Structure 1
Amino acid sequence: MDKLNFLNVIAWIAVFVSLLLAFFLFTVKTQNKLANRLFAFFFILSALDLSGFFFYKFIEGQLNLEAFRWTTCLLGMPLFYLFVLAVCYSDFQLKWKHLWHVIPFLVVNLIFIPRFYAADELQKIQFFEVHNQMPEMLFFRVVVEVQYLFYIVSVYLILKKYKELYLENYARTGFSTYRWLFQMTTVFLIAHSIVVLKNLLRYTNFKETFIWANVLVGSIALLVTCWFIMKALNHPELFRGINSKLKLAKDILPETEEKQTSDTFENDVIKNQILSLREYMDQKEPFLDPSLTIQELSNQINMPVRELSVLINHHIDQHFFDFVNEYRIQKAMKILKDSSKSNLTVLEILYEVGFNSKSSFNTAFKKYTNLTPTAYRNS
């Protein structure tokens, strides 16, 4: 089997797997249907893009269709961007304003009209023969790279804010959604960088290298798609979002400062609030609930959630996530040192104190004690 046939086989498999994953996302039962559908359409577009490795065999007399297929890649990153929003924020909904994401796709297709879509068959064939040197194609490739850079930066900024909001408002210890989305975005960035380097070979004399680069890109696309399938099958809990109306403590703080009176009075009030909060944490142990949120804690102590957020994240200078985990670790330390509970395993202890993941428990425990739970018990 020569390299072109090998490339075709890889492309066919990658297209099939992408469509299979799209079908799975459309049909799987989940609370976040919008995120699944956006991701499914993303993989349909990926399949359409990957079909370019063999699609040329079927486009005789259908050159308009091939050019249109090229431009559909401009819809991929907007779909991924909207997918990330839908995963991160449980109340995210598509609105008419999101149609602006289609503008680059429409602009590029409009530019193709005069000298391609509206041209006769002979002109289209001539365009195809030298399309890499045509100004329309150069403009198209510049738009693709600028658009990709814009969306990849935007996704990283969304994830940064999501992480901050999560740490300030939630105490669930798995934190798998952020890690998964961050890994996925990084994989996309690396894969796209390889594609860019491959495309640069078009403009060199290394045609043999360009073919092998296509084989590499097709193989990477197949591996990445298989990785997504494994993630989707093994981690159905990944689609768990937060409320987009939440605010960071640094954004709430200016609003609360406007209501402050004298510094002495303010300091006394804050000290009393912190003391009451810590007494409640020690006596009632709300941190034993693995899904505790700052909203639930505010309801329990009858303090407005915005005020509680500023108290913990600003005045105590801890994220809510770390604040709660500190109490969980202290509880775990007491159990580990209690000889009457020496029969309890580390796994049983972590569930008892409010953790739901062994890896997150070990990480948090080592952060506070510089020891693993087992080493602490034996010390």
Structure 2
Amino acid sequence: MYFAEGLTWEICIVGLSLTVFTLINLLTKPYKHKSDLLLCLWLLLLNIPLLQTALSHQGIDSPAFNLYTDPMLTLLHGPILYWYVRILVSSEDAKILKSDLLHLIPFVLFYLLYISMDHPHSMRPSIGSPDIAIGSAGEGEVMSLFRPLMVHFGLINGLVFVVYSIVTIYALVQHQKTITEIFSQNDNEISLKWLYTLPATFAALVLLNFMNENVLESAPVIDPLTFHMMSFLSFIILLCFFGVKQKPVFFLRKPSFENKIESETPIENSDANDNDLSDEAIARVIEDMQAYMRRGKPFINPDFSVYSLAEALNIPRRNLSQVLNSRLSKNFYQYVNEFRIDEVKALLQDPNHAKSTILDIAFRCGFKSKSSFNSLFKQYCDVTPSQYRKKVRQG
């Protein structure tokens, strides 16, 4: 038991220390976006159980602090996950709407219910005892009706987070489709694939916790309280490692030109629908686009986006996307990376670059990731980059 208490204390200190360092990093940034502030709030909420446990380990027990920072706060994690993702994938400056307050209803109801009840001791998991102990023989009949809700709070809290996880995953899937029309890269900061680890981590921890406390109830591998603190620490590590460097996907990537050009009349079109260009206009856009890509080679810039191309051609982004999708049957990501692959092939055939490594050539042509480069090269050329270079040298 002493070992378990010591390990729990160390976990709490690691989580609290890591959070303090991350908060300082986020709050001292020259520009703080709403997503940064929301991330700070999320980290503070995740650290409350760690702080309570650390204080208890030192013999400091404040019933008032434990009461008003009760476990009902965990009902906020689902809404915060959803809001955080929505802010990151929003193409405009995301705002908190009145309808967003509806997401707080479960938390408010459970929170008010909890602080209105008697509490023999705080809600802390332990071997051989329920996760929650509330109520007394003298509590009112009305309050006693709600006791089953509180007893099964862990299950309810888990279901709430699962629902928000599903909504969040759907938003991320839709985001994957959007970014291929906008960006020429698909790195972690743009794709937000790291956010999938949050629901996945939650599911894994719930399963392991269930096995530890129920399947192995007679001899649990890990003390339940220690396991719960490890669970909170897992989320803290993920958010601190990825969240501190995460920027809103579209923020500061959309030129001011875009706001201006989108409000102007689109280039010549044949129908009343502004999104339908005439054949002549489409042919002109394709000709200008191909010439610009070959002459200027803007694709060697890893951050080259559809907004940059639209600005260079002086046409609205929506018209450019229409041309790519309807006439070339490609999204922006595919279109740009075909030019990058062709440039890589040209340099691999160039004797002046015979001593350059394949990776150096790939980075010079605009790729940022070795894995994405190898995957795209194999997709377009049916051979790996090294096989292609070998074939060129042999031929």
* Contact 1:274/1:311 (8 A) holds in 2: yes
Match of 1:239 in 2: 247
Alignment partners' CA distance in 1, 2:106 and 2:135: 22
Identity of aligned residues (%): 21
Q: 1:139 to 1:110 in 2, by over 3 A?
A: farther
Alignment partners' CA distance in 2, 1:208 and 1:93: 49
Match of 1:155 in 2: 168
Secondary structure at 1:169 match in 2: coil
Alignment partners' CA distance in 1, 2:387 and 2:56: 62
Is the counterpart of residue 49 in structure 1 residue 61 in structure 2?
Answer: no
Give the deviation of 1:86 after TM superposition: 3.0
Is the counterpart of residue 297 in structure 1 residue 297 in structure 2?
Answer: no
Match of 2:326 in 1: 314
Is the counterpart of residue 109 in structure 1 residue 123 in structure 2?
Answer: no
1:1-34 per-residue CA deviation (whole Å, 9 max, x = no partner) reads 6454244324423442353244234434254432
Task: Read off the aligned partner of 1:144 and give its amino acid letter.
Answer: N
Secondary structure at 2:166 match in 1: helix
Q: 1:123 to 1:78 in 2, by over 3 A?
A: closer
Alignment TM-score, normalising by the size of structure 1: 0.76
- 1:327-338 aligned at under 5 Å gives the runs 327-338=339-350
Q: 1:311 to 1:8 in 2, by over 3 A?
A: same
* Contact 1:26/1:40 (8 A) holds in 2: yes
Task: Read off the aligned partner of 2:39 and give its amino acid letter.
Answer: F
- 1:88-107 aligned at under 5 Å gives the runs 88-89=89-90, 91-97=92-98, 98-107=100-109
Alignment partners' CA distance in 2, 1:71 and 1:214: 17
1:67-90 per-residue CA deviation (whole Å, 9 max, x = no partner) reads 741111112232232222333347
Q: 1:184 to 1:304 in 2, by over 3 A?
A: closer
Secondary structure at 1:365 match in 2: helix
Match of 1:253 in 2: none
* Contact 2:26/2:32 (8 A) holds in 1: no
Give the deviation of 1:113 after TM superposition: 5.3
Match of 1:37 in 2: 37
Is the counterpart of residue 66 in structure 1 residue 74 in structure 2?
Answer: no
Give the deviation of 1:337 after TM superposition: 0.8
Alignment partners' CA distance in 2, 1:196 and 1:361: 37
The structure that is helix-richer by fraction is 1
Match of 2:384 in 1: 372
Instruction: Report how many residues are paired.
Output: 356
* Contact 1:288/1:352 (8 A) holds in 2: yes
Match of 1:219 in 2: 230
Quick one: which of 328, 334, 344 aligns to 2:356? 344
* Contact 1:15/1:50 (8 A) holds in 2: yes
Alignment partners' CA distance in 2, 1:257 and 1:66: 67
* Contact 1:38/1:79 (8 A) holds in 2: yes
Task: Read off the aligned partner of 1:50 and give its amino acid letter.
Answer: L
* Contact 1:74/1:144 (8 A) holds in 2: yes
Quick one: which of 172, 189, 212 aligns to 2:200? 189
Q: 1:346 to 1:28 in 2, by over 3 A?
A: farther
Q: 1:123 to 1:53 in 2, by over 3 A?
A: closer
Alignment TM-score, normalising by the size of structure 2: 0.74
Task: Read off the aligned partner of 1:160 and give its amino acid letter.
Answer: V
1:307-359 per-residue CA deviation (whole Å, 9 max, x = no partner) reads 11111133322220111010111111011112233233334422332223434
Secondary structure at 1:168 match in 2: coil
Secondary structure at 1:209 match in 2: coil
* Contact 1:18/1:47 (8 A) holds in 2: no
- Unaligned runs of at least 5 residues, structure 1: 247-255
Q: 1:28 to 1:149 in 2, by over 3 A?
A: same
Give the deviation of 1:37 after TM superposition: 1.9
1:24-79 per-residue CA deviation (whole Å, 9 max, x = no partner) reads 34434254432222112211111113345566666867278337411111122322
Task: Read off the aligned partner of 2:249 and give its amino acid letter.
Answer: G
Task: Read off the aligned partner of 1:292 and give its amino acid letter.
Answer: F
Match of 1:164 in 2: 177
1:156-206 per-residue CA deviation (whole Å, 9 max, x = no partner) reads 1222222222210122x2522145x43343244333442365258767892
* Contact 1:11/1:218 (8 A) holds in 2: yes
- Unaligned runs of at least 5 residues, structure 2: 120-132, 259-268
* Contact 1:170/1:294 (8 A) holds in 2: yes
Report the more deviating stretch, 277-286 or 72-81.
277-286
